[in-house]
Amino acid sequence: MKQRAVTTIKSYLEKSILRQSVIGFTAMALISVTATFFLSRYKMATDLQKSATATAEAFRSRILEGDIKAVENQIHNVLGLRDGEDALILNQDRQHIYRSTSITTNALRPCDTVGFTCFDSYTGPGRIFFPIYFDEKKKNIFGYLYLSKSVQIDWLFVVIVFFIFSFGYAAMLLGLGSVARSSSKKLASEVEEWANRLRINPKSQSPLSRAPFSELVPLRDAIEGLTSQIERYESQASEKAKMLVLRGIAHDLLSPVSQVQLYLATLEQQMKVDPSASDTLNEIKTSLRKVSMIASQVKTLNDNEPRENLLDLSEAARLEILSLQKNESIKAKNIQLSLSAAAGVLAPLSRSEVARILQNLIENAADASNAGAEIVVKVERQGESSVLSVADQGCGIPAHLYDRIFEPDFTSKPATGTGLGLFIVKHICEQRKGSVSVESRQDQGTTITVSVPSEGTERSSHAV
């Protein structure tokens, strides 16, 4: 299939202006000639009526004396009539008094009104029948003065108007052409600059220059949105790649961890250990449980099946908090866990997902809190969403780290942290078409809020 030739904006505008100019010029020329003709026609009709009135009054006495032929010739000369134009004296029956004239009675077409100019057609000559009376009171009619005259166009006037109009039109055309060239050059320059930036560095975050025309604003916004979209796609691709690696590692870890746990249980039963050895054994068991829990969480990261049954988020949170209150690290710092929940708040989450969310958020909050501090968990509905939030009274998170804390390899505890906790929370929220946000103040505490779309109503409130 043959491709259509690509034209430039400048060429398109110039051709369009030229085409419209030719059409406009032709139309205006026709309008000018037509208007001039009708103006000449109107002027002739008015002049003919005035001439008839003045002539009838001036030559009335000579006409009544019978000097008809001489009067006709004199009127013809005075009015400057040409061949084919007539000045005749008619009787009461509107017949020419001198039969010898070349104008026959049949040629004298009547007018509907006496004393006014009439026409047979738009382009035909005008004529008038003007009454001549015997007396001054105009009661006894003698006959009629008949005048006929062709419409004469003032071609000199037409040429002058046409020349002035052509000069103005040419000046306007040159101006439009100059504006078109300037606009197309500016437009092409701006689009080329944007295209070069996309070609060289599509991920550049520097703002684009201001659009010279409002029609280009959507294009500029789309380019800037494309840059952000590229960044998001790269981030998602990176996270997916890391997730695949993590899931493989987790799968490989679970088997040896299970075997070590089994060996420890057997060893604990078979040997009598001293208190110090017992403490060491408990620490090993605790560490293995943490490794097993993390591996299990990572392994199930790809669980994105839709939830047909909605979970009672309030009840699931209550049960998980009861379990977390027995956590060794939380008990060691005497952290107080409190829950404020509206009953009947439903969410498209599984019980294990709620457990993973709360475990990660509460353990992070406990690490950031001082001994004896309080961690508050809230469950509520906000519009069409179910919201779960965890607030601590810890040291807070710097604002510039808000986005980074959800990355899979970021941790504020390099010695003990894995950097997976908040990444897992974010991943679960995104799988359920929800979101997670953070609000923090230095040395005042942090609140992390999880929101997922839900259905249900609030029926009552209770606290743990």
Position 381 in a domain: yes
Residues sharing a CB contact under 8 Å with residue 103, sequence separation 6 or more, in sequence order? 86, 88, 96
Q: How many Cα atoms sit within 13 Å of 207 on the Cβ side?
A: 4
Q: Which domain-ending residue is among 156, 180, 203?
A: 156
Tokens, residue 242: 């890391």
**Residue 223, domain member (yes or no):** no
CATH code at 340?
3.30.565.10
In the block, tokens 């969403």 appear at 385
Q: Domain for residue 131, yes or no?
A: yes
Give the separation between CA 450 and CA 378, rounded to whole angstroms: 10
| CATH number of the domain to which 57 belongs | 3.30.450
Contact 37, 142 (CB under 8 A): no
Q: Tell me if 111 is assigned to some domain.
A: yes
436 occurs within a structural domain: yes
Alpha-carbon Rg for the chain, nearest whole angstrom, is 51
- How far is it, in rounded angstroms, from Cα 94 to Cα 116? 15
Question: What pLDDT is stored for residue 431 in this prediction?
Answer: 83
As a whole number of angstroms, the distance between CA 235 and CA 1 comes to 40
Answer with the one of 156, 175, 192 that is the final residue of a domain.
156
Could you tell me the two tokens for 307? Answer: 């939830």
pLDDT for 205 equals: 60
Domain stop point among 156, 184, 219: 156
Nearest residue to 293 via CA among 316, 263, 323 = 323
Q: Retrieve residue 153's tokens.
A: 């166009």
Per-residue confidence in pLDDT tens, the chain, 464 aa: 455 555 666 677 777 777 877 787 788 778 877 887 888 888 888 888 898 889 888 888 888 888 888 888 888 888 888 888 888 998 888 888 876 545 544 467 778 888 888 887 777 788 899 999 988 888 888 999 999 888 877 677 777 877 887 787 778 777 777 777 777 777 777 777 767 766 776 666 666 666 666 666 676 666 666 666 766 666 666 666 566 555 555 555 555 566 666 656 666 665 555 555 566 666 666 666 666 666 555 555 555 555 567 899 999 999 999 988 888 888 888 999 999 999 889 999 988 889 889 988 998 888 888 888 999 999 999 999 999 999 998 888 888 787 788 876 667 655 455 557 788 888 888 888 899 999 988 888 999 999 999 764 444 334 34
Residue 86 CA to residue 69 CA, distance in Å, equals 13
Q: CA-to-CA distance for 56 and 41, rounded, in angstroms?
A: 22
Domain count, the chain: 2
Classify 202 as helix, strand or coil: coil
Q: Domain limits at 119?
A: 9-156
Helices (H) and strands (E) in the chain, counts: 10, 12
- Residues 377 and 388 sit within 8 Å (Cβ to Cβ): yes
Q: Does residue 100 belong to any structural domain of this protein? A: yes
Q: Say which residues have a Cβ less than 8 Å from residue 169's Cβ, sequence separation at least 6.
A: 21, 24, 25, 28
Asked whether residue 212 is domain-assigned, the answer is: no
